[in-house]
Structure formats: structure tokens, C-alpha cells
Amino acid sequence: MSGGVDSSLSAALLKKQGYDVTGVYMKNWSRDLPGMKCPWRQDYTDAKRVAVQLGIPFEMYDFEKQYRSVVVDYMLRSYQAGLTPNPDIMCNQEIKFGLFFDLATKNGADFVATGHYARTLENKDGSGLYEAVCKDKDQSYFLYRVNYRILDRVLMPIGEFETKEEVRKLAAKYGLSTAEKPDSQGICFVGEIGIKDFLLEFLGPQPSGDIIDQSGRIVGRHDGSIFYTIGQRHGLDLGGGLPFYVTGKDVKKNIVYVTTDLQDRNLWSRVVKIKNLHWLSEDIPKLIKSRELSVRTRYRSAKVACRARIEDDSAVLELEDEVRALTPGQSAVIYLGEQVLGGGIIY
């Protein structure tokens, strides 16, 4: 229970269905940052309040040390290497469905439930991961690296709802104190702080360098190439004229490349290369060639039809339509209809 409405309602629904429910708050981060107080105490209090309302036991698992070494350090290393990582995916893989699942089951849990907008459904391979009914809130993209062997012990009650409004209305009907609590924003484990401010806090000021446009002209100066991501428009401080978009960066040379041309070939891709593959069934790599697939190259982007060619721990995805701003470090997640098959890291 994170202290939000989704996990609160999940607990209420499961109790109503007859499960013996225990609420658990995961303490992953507690450090305050300049100008931003970490919300963990409020979230913990909100989760505990709901547990009291429901009359269920409530515990806290402290994973802060492991979270720093596994998720935060991974994120910092990735940015330093010029990549744009997704810490939510790493958190789900290593913490929520790794450490948390292991400790909960060790403590006697038969199932682990979360407030994710996704579904675990029975199929011919056992249990599979599927998109949520509510496509606007679907979080299956963030879950593709979960160990498929535990899916038959994972419950996601919110995945069946058609809208977030339905979730809030039912939470209000049950009298849950979090029914109207706003959704969290910003970095997943910290709160409402921008990624640039977070990186500055831990990596310090970065050397400035040139911003070069599609004609090879120096059009400005940046304050650290690690702060920029492919497709970015805002925050470049290149005043006047047409807007600029980031098309690439070279962290070794400390250069950021931009364009004013939305049709610039450096902004569009029809081929996606991924590595560090992860599949949600051991049979998927063998069967994937004969299936009608689609891929999502970033959260909230539309799925695009594709063909996959697997080469050991990497794959090449040939897309039916071009995608914009393909970003190294992000994940490409492969679907068969609504089912998540797996994916890998874009490089």
C-alpha cells in the first residue's frame, strides 16, 4: 500500500472478496532534497489510515538501502553514460516483484497484490501479463521485466476498471480516506522534483558545451549533455525563430545535437535495436517469429506493428510505421494483442 487511492481500493476489494489481507508500505526513499520534502511520511500515514479503516494488519518493509544501490545508482550511472533510463521498470523488477515478493511470501503470503493498472490472466502457458482495461492508465509497459514464474501469485484488481474516475468513485463509496488524493508526479521514488534537479543534487554541476543544429552550426550552449533527452523541446534556451528538438548527444565530446526540422531523419526510426532481453515465458523466443506483434517504445506512446529478429540477448524490431524520438536507455516492450511478451533496452 503506497498511500494512494489505487492500492487502497485494491486492499478493500480483496478483503470484500474474502482474502485475508495485510497492508504493507515499502519505504524505498526518505531523503529530503533542496526545495522538496520527501512525501514518504505522509504516504505511510495515509496507507496506515486506510488499513485501520479496513481493519487489516499493517506493516512497513524498509528497502531503502537496497533501493539506493539497485535503482538509484543504476539511474545515475545510466545518465552519466548518456542514456535515459526508466527507474520504474527497474523498481518493479528488483524491488516490488523481487525483494518485496520474496519477503512477503517468506512471511506467509500466498499472493502479492498491487495497485498497478495491468492484469494477470490465465492462458495456455499458465499466467500471463496483460494490459489494463483502462488504456489511458495502463502500466503494463513498466512490468515487462517481472519474473513470469510469479505471475500466478500476483493480483492486480485495479486492472479491470475502465476509468480512474470509477476507481475514485468506488473508493469514496467505501469511505476510503485516499479517494480524492491526487496522483503522485515526478520521479517515482522521490516525489515532485524534476529529473535535472535530482541529477544536480547527486552528480553536481556538469561542464557546459556546444549545441549544434542540423547544419553543423553552433546555435547555443548547454549546461550538461546528460540533462537532455532525444525529442526534447523545452529547456534548450535557444530563443527566437522555430523551436529546436534534440536529435542526439555525445557525452564524451559533450555536444548536444538539435534540429528545427520535425521531419529530420535523426528524429525518426523504423528499426529498433534492443538488448538485455527479458521474456514472460521461456517459449516466447521460439514462437515470436510467427506472431503478429506490436511494440511500445516509451510509456504512453502508441503501439506499432512490428516483426522481431532475435539474436542471442539482443533483437532487431522492424516497424510497420516510423516512431519519433527513439531514446537509448528506454525500453521497447513487445505485445501480442493485449498480452505483454517481453522486451529489452533500446540502444
| Residue 197 falls inside a structural domain | no
Alpha-helical (H) ranges within 92-186 are 100-106, 164-173
Do 296 and 253 lie in a common domain?
A: no
| 137/124: higher pLDDT | 137
Of the candidates 34, 72, 2, the residue with the CA atom closest to the CA atom of residue 200: 34
Do 140 and 88 lie in a common domain?
A: yes
| Residue 29 falls inside a structural domain | yes
**End residue of a domain, out of 237, 259, 281:** 259
pLDDT at position 20: 98
pLDDT at position 312: 87
CA-to-CA separations, 283 to 254, 277, 316, in angstroms, rounded = 43, 14, 18
Do 98 and 232 lie in a common domain?
A: no
Report whether pLDDT(92) > 80: yes
Task: Give the pLDDT mean for 93-102.
Answer: 98
- Amino acid found at 309: R
pLDDT at position 191: 61
Do 30 and 164 lie in a common domain?
A: yes
Report whether pLDDT(124) > 80: no
Q: Which residue has the cell 558545451?
A: 209
| β-strand partners of 221 | 210
pLDDT at position 334: 97
Residue 256: count other Cβ atoms within 10 Å of its Cβ.
26
Do 168 and 226 lie in a common domain?
A: no
C-alpha span between 14 and 245 (Å, rounded): 47
CA-to-CA separations, 207 to 74, 204, 302, 344, in angstroms, rounded = 22, 10, 36, 31
Report whether pLDDT(189) > 80: no
Report whether pLDDT(66) > 80: yes
Tell me the average pLDDT of the chain.
Answer: 95
DSSP 111: -
CATH of the domain at 292: 2.40.30.10
Task: Give the pLDDT mean for 57-74.
Answer: 97
All cell numbers assigned to 145:
521485466
How many structural domains comprise the chain? Answer: 3
CATH of the domain at 240: 2.30.30.280
Report whether pLDDT(298) > 70: yes
Do 271 and 255 lie in a common domain?
A: no
Do 159 and 273 lie in a common domain?
A: no
The H or E element spanning position 5 is helix 5-16
All cell numbers assigned to 138:
495502463
pLDDT per residue over 247-284, tens digit each?
A: 999 999 999 999 999 999 999 999 999 999 999 998 88
- Amino acid found at 148: Y
Task: Give the pLDDT mean for 178-206.
Answer: 84
When mean pLDDT is compared across 199-203, 285-289, 328-332, the lowest value belongs to 285-289
Do 84 and 18 lie in a common domain?
A: yes
- Residue 188: band (very low, low, confident or very high) from pLDDT cuts 50, 70, 90: low
Residue 191 φ/ψ, nearest 5 degrees: 130, -150
pTM as predicted: 0.94
Do 139 and 278 lie in a common domain?
A: no
When mean pLDDT is compared across 35-39, 258-262, 315-319, the lowest value belongs to 35-39
| Residue 183 falls inside a structural domain | no
Task: Give the pLDDT mean for 170-189.
Answer: 88
Task: Give the pLDDT mean for 179-202.
Answer: 81
Alpha-helical (H) ranges within 92-132 are 100-106
All cell numbers assigned to 89:
521498470
C-alpha span between 222 and 226 (Å, rounded): 10
Do 42 and 151 lie in a common domain?
A: yes
| Residue 193 falls inside a structural domain | no
Domain that holds residue 251: 206-259
| Residue 275 falls inside a structural domain | yes
Report whether pLDDT(207) > 70: yes
DSSP 244: P
User: Would you name the residues annotated as active-site residues?
Assistant: 91, 188
- Residue 1: band (very low, low, confident or very high) from pLDDT cuts 50, 70, 90: very high
Report whether pLDDT(73) > 70: yes
pLDDT per residue over 144-170, tens digit each?
A: 999 999 999 999 999 999 999 999 999
Of the candidates 267, 253, 265, 264, the residue with the CA atom closest to the CA atom of residue 210: 253
